[in-house]
Amino acid sequence: MFIGRALYLLGMAFVFFSVLGVIMIPLSDGGGDIALPIFALLNGLIAMGVGEIVIDLNHRQRVEKMNKE
């Protein structure tokens, strides 16, 4: 359960900071390449999805275990 929550929170942090990067890089004086923040955004979304799957799987196993008893 801890792994799922940690992945979800880490994914949220990646999404938050990469969205800030996508917004702030074009506004800077020199501009810049926004490919890295885009890949960080995708990485954060994937981490959030995997974390959600782990949390859901753990919850289902816990419910099935309680129903058997």
Domain of 26 in residue numbering reads as: 2-68
Q: Output the pLDDT for position 39.
A: 94
Model confidence band, residue 32 (pLDDT cutoffs 50, 70, 90): confident
The domain tally of the chain equals: 1
Contact 51, 5 (CB under 8 A): yes
pLDDT of residue 27: 83
Question: Is 28:40 a contact under the CB 8 Å cutoff?
Answer: no
- pLDDT at residue 61 in the model: 93
Q: 22: which 2 tokens?
A: 């996508």
Per-residue pLDDT tens digits for 42-69: 999 999 999 999 999 999 999 999 998 7
Mean pLDDT of 20-45: 88
What average pLDDT does the structure give for the chain? 91
Contact 22, 34 (CB under 8 A): yes
